[in-house]
Structure 1
Amino acid sequence: MVTDSLVKLSEVTDVYEVTGEYDIVCLLRTESILAFREVLKNKILKIPGVKSTVSSIVLYTHKRDRKPVSE
């Protein structure tokens, strides 16, 4: 399964199964755009089942709250 392979990558911080146009949203952190390119090209695109990717780069973080949702 694609998600099982993604969670094993050290650069990956979050993996979500989602509804809508895409099946999976994956967040990762790298030190540079070049490092991102290498992870994408040499790891993510080689995972069986990955047919295509769409990438967005975070330019600035205004807020990042990791608190769990209250039940």
Structure 2
Amino acid sequence: MLTELDTSLPSVKQLQNSIKEAKQVELKLVTGDLLAGKILWQDQYCVFLASENTQKTMIWKQSIVYMKEG
């Protein structure tokens, strides 16, 4: 069963805006790790982050504590 991303949700809109504008973000994870970079894409479960040193990381949304633009 395919479930689509609900683009009416404010959190989804915010992430989409960050992707569209290629904004730098910080993601704090439940593990305490802090990741920085640009979000390249999102789906209903994950975001894909590219850091300045070109490291690419797929992150499960449920592991994100907060996102900060900057």
Q: Confirm or deny a common fold (TM above 0.5).
A: no
Q: Which has the higher contact order (CA 8 A, sep 6+)?
A: 2
Return the index of the structure with the highest Cα Rg. 1
Q: Structure 2-normalised TM-score? A: 0.22
Task: Tell me which protein shows more helix as a share of its residues.
Answer: 1
Task: Tell me which protein shows more strand as a share of its residues.
Answer: 2
Q: Structure 1-normalised TM-score? A: 0.22
